Amino acid sequence: MKSVGVADLKSHLSEHLRDVRRGEVVTVLDRSTPVARLVPIVETAGPLAVRSPRAGAPAPGRVALPPRLRADVDAVAILLEDRRADR
């Protein structure tokens, strides 16, 4: 792995990209602080495999939601009261 400064990267970008194509990792430094890493792209074997749902599983979009909770509290009134108390 090699490290290069931003100015060097800008002036020799093609050379550094050639190194990356050959498999080398290039760390970019901004005033001695690492800020980026150029790495070769690894080709994937293909699309991701998707498993079939379990037998008896609900269809997508058909999952039953839990019942909505009913609250006898006015949340807005509580928030307004809390804000007034802080003043």
Per residue in 14-48, pLDDT (tens digit) is 999 999 999 999 999 999 999 999 999 987 777 77
Residue 5 pLDDT more than 90? Answer: yes
Looking at residue 50, its pLDDT comes to: 83
Mean pLDDT, range 51-74, rounded to an integer = 83
- Structure-model confidence comparison of residues 69 and 11, the more confident one: 11
The structural domains of the chain, with segments of one domain joined by +, span 2-38
CA 33, distance to chain mean position in Å, is 22
Tokens for 22? 């050959």
Looking at residue 86, its pLDDT comes to: 78
Tokens for 66? 């839990």
pTM of full prediction above 0.75:
no
